[in-house]
Structure 1
Amino acid sequence: MNFSCSPVHIINNTLNTLIMRFISITLVCFFTLIISSLAAQTTVGMRVLSGTSSLTSAQDVLPSNLGTHSRVAGSTFGLVVERDLTYHVSLRSGVQQTQRGTTLQQGTIPKLLGASLPLNYEARIRMSYVEVPLALKFSVPIAQQQVELFGWGGATAGYALAGSVRSRSTTSMNFQLATSKLDMVNYAFPRFHLGYTGGLGFGLNLGETLQFRLEAEYNRSAKKKAMLTPESGEHEYQILHFGAGMVFRL
């Protein structure tokens, strides 16, 4: 049966086109921030965060042979760029790598995302995305402008670079299996990702141009794309990460 003209195929192509346009526009904005750094106050730095990821709700219903799901550890790290729009508002972007995934338990299917599994498995699924966020940041200086409290909210677009499934049997032997890389091409994994992002942060000025930051970030998929098996349907991912970073004012 040919699905090339099916409504689902048309919708997926349309969404992929919109996501690619969003990524292109965001990249243009990102590099514009760097080029225009001489004309406006610009902040550039690095950040590293870690936390957990899972499907968006514990009530997400999966086929019985997939078992139950819980959180899996993950991380986010990369470059952050901010350009002041007003004294309290700035445009925030950057390039980062983010891990998404979940843990499945007590399942009985022989394969997951193309990877072979034992019976009664526990499988930790992780996908690594390169992402470009675009958000508005709101900040309030306190303590004689030595401390900055801030928050941000916006959208993020990404592309899945790689993924893995690490599984083990939950039988009495508790046998640990090797990690299997996901075959995203042959499995037709939906690699483009569009989501919402937001967070809160605390910045401590260490001089006129240097600032140390602590941040907490929440990220959620905008569309259900976590296809675990062809028959499982699609689900969304959510991330909660905490970390630190260092930025410089140019």
Structure 2
Amino acid sequence: MKVVVVQNDPVFGEVSRNIEDVSLILSKRKEPKPDLVVLSELFASGYQFTSVSEARSLSEKAVGPDAGPTVTFMKSLSRETGGLVVGGFPCLTDGRVTNSAAVFRNGELVTVYDKVHLFDAENRWFSPGAGPLCLVDTDFGPMGVMICFDWLFPEVARSLALAGAMLIAHPANWVLPFGPSGMILRSVENRIYTLTANRVGTEARGGLPPLTYIGQSQVLSPSGEILARAPRETAAILEVAFDPSLAKRKTVAAESDAFRQRRPDLYQL
């Protein structure tokens, strides 16, 4: 399986410019037909909203003739590659604005996942996702999707893994320093691949505390090996090939299995 992870540096509200920048980054890829491209959370709109009306003004419909430019770009990219594209955008559905990720396959919308765990000021601008968690059937096996702060809740990755996910696509806008190392644990404890597409840059808008994004987009193996990691401060593209079937193996030693030895009868959730 060949995957591409894009780390960009969007300028808030400059949707067309940010899409052009992502296109330029993608033009540098060596593999013209990756099986999967993962883009960051809100990669074209920017992240630090200052009002509900601002979030609504940059939101996009995911389907129909009024589908927005970010969605249209992802659709076109997936048609071009013939594979999957996962990327974040502010989604408008039935009057609600959500922090969402769209999944496209070969030019067709597969699903839209609305972020369940909103981070900090996001709670002011977005409606939380109502679920269910996002699991997509693909040619290489089930793929989960989560967005940024979802990672801090181990139940999300574990639920996806128990449902069969062999990898998780993870659009993010990380500002907390422990995200990259924390995701290693998510890969190890679930014995799955994780692909985090983060961003770089700083936003300081509307008198809110400045946000500095930490980069370090990464692709991790089921054993926690860092297959690729981007720099902290510059845009980048990661290209990795791996065998997704390795995520079917849940053994950690000859007589130890991360899933078989679970004791859900003792866990209180």
Do Structure 1 and Structure 2 share a fold, with TM-score over 0.5?
Answer: no
**Category of TM-score, reference length = shorter chain:** under 0.3
Give the strand-richer structure, 1 or 2: 1
Larger radius of gyration: 1
Question: So what's the TM-score if we normalise by structure 2?
Answer: 0.24
Give the helix-richer structure, 1 or 2: 2
Question: So what's the TM-score if we normalise by structure 1?
Answer: 0.26
